Amino acid sequence: MIGLLTLGLALLAWYLSAVLLMLFGAVIVAVILHAMAAPMQRHLKLKPRPAVAASVVLALLFVALVSWLIGDRLTSQFEDLRERLPTALTALFDWLRRYPIGQALLELWDSASVGDVPWTRVAYAATQTLNAVGTVLLMALVGVYLAIDPRLYRVGLVRLVPPAHRERINDALLASGHALSRWLVAQSFSMLFVGITTAVGLALLDVPLALTLGVIAGLLAFVPFFGAIAAGVLAVLMAFTQGPTQALYVGLLSLVIQQVEGNVIMPLVERWAVSLAPALAIMAAVIFGVLFGLPGLVLSTPLMVVTMVLVKKLYVEGLLEGAPPSSSPR
């Protein structure tokens, strides 16, 4: 019966994987808001609800301020980027045709590409985009409610397990939230560094749309390894409009930024935050990307962080070592 129940729960989780990923995204939103509200509770003596409300207002004000300062410029550059991409691809293809290996790659591209895009696919893409926007909004809303009273939901989840295991489950959940909070802070520093250095470096190289490419690089830095590759490829592609030499300089710039971020910035912040081995981050991106698609790829690293903590607390310390829980239910 236990085996059948476990199998049934696994199948149910697989069937509801999109909902579970949305809930995990809401947890990330809640962790961010809770981290913003904690200093207000500590220094201003605010209660949790007003502190979270103030955090939401501050986040909205920050978005409004950024939109007011660079929103128009960023919007126009994104539109310009969309218009320049065909020209960049043409320049890249012209350069590849000069070399035998490039011709082979173009033949492979032609054999894999489709001539015309059916309107059904366009409609499907538009529907998926609207669904993604709705999911993000729902994720943010649920995250706000989770941040207002996280103890309510944690205690409710803990009470679903037998009393003998509640203290350890509670300890594991608290440790997971703490590790996730620290990882998000560290990742924010990394994303900020990648975005700023990419925008400044591309501007110094006189690459068009440097601000937009910097914003994209900073956002894609949330996905380790694969995000850096995608951002670098896009920047190099845009540089091809100015010639292969400029594309080489941009490629070297992207390589230097990623090496500094991976070998200098992240080791420094990981001394304070949770440390995640690069191989585990890549494996997480591959595994969760294959299992859950693009949402799984985007959330792969925080999922791996939580998984590592749960395995350590519940399996290694709880089952193998028999260590007592480090906290009591709160």
pLDDT tens digit string along 146-166? 888 888 888 888 988 888 888
- Domain positions in the chain are 16-102+122-320
pLDDT tens digit string along 62-117? 888 888 877 777 788 778 887 787 888 788 778 877 777 776 766 766 665 544 44
pLDDT at 199: 92
- Higher-pLDDT residue of 154 and 130 is 154
From the list 200, 236, 238, the residue with the least C-alpha distance to 218 is 200
* pTM higher than 0.75: yes
Q: What is the mean predicted confidence (pLDDT) over 130-146?
A: 79
Distance CA 28, CA 44 (A): 24
pLDDT at 116: 47
Q: Percent of the chain having pLDDT more than 90?
A: 8
Q: What is the mean predicted confidence (pLDDT) over 114-131?
A: 49
pLDDT tens digit string along 238-295? 888 888 888 899 999 999 998 888 777 777 776 666 667 777 778 888 888 888 888 8
Q: What is the mean predicted confidence (pLDDT) over 184-189?
A: 86
pLDDT at 47 over 60: yes
pLDDT at 126: 47
Q: How confident is the model at residue 204 (pLDDT cuts 50, 70, 90)?
A: very high
pLDDT at 314 over 70: yes
Q: How many residues does this entry show for the chain?
A: 330
pLDDT at 322: 67
pLDDT at 51: 87
pLDDT at 59: 87
pLDDT at 256: 92
Q: What is the mean predicted confidence (pLDDT) over 126-148?
A: 75
Distance CA 130, CA 245 (A): 40
pLDDT at 132: 66
Q: What is the mean predicted confidence (pLDDT) over 163-172?
A: 88
